[in-house]
Amino acid sequence: MMEQSTTERVTMRRARVLAEMTKKEVAELLGVHPQTYSKWEDDPEEMSISTAKQFCRIVKQEFSDIFFDTESILNG
């Protein structure tokens, strides 16, 4: 797996892919339905900060390195 630069911000989707995880796997670890997680990946502003921090731990990324706003859908 490639190391990511600490200055490059990524979307939730990209962070999940870099962690080599499926949406279903992340949803299970977050304790939510896969459809709920999928909605968050499309619109991360709907996710609570505590859940976003939990997501970061799951995908092994820093909170500041992930877009958690509507811009993330533009950056794929």
Query: What pLDDT digit, counting tens, does each position of 7-66 carry?
Result: 578 999 999 999 999 999 999 999 999 999 999 998 898 899 999 999 999 999 999 999
What phi, psi does 20 have (nearest 5°)? Answer: 55, 50
**Are 47 and 55 in contact, with CB atoms under 8 Å apart?**
yes
**Are 44 and 12 in contact, with CB atoms under 8 Å apart?**
yes
**Are 40 and 72 in contact, with CB atoms under 8 Å apart?**
no
CB atoms within 10 A of CB 18: 16
- pTM, entire model: 0.80
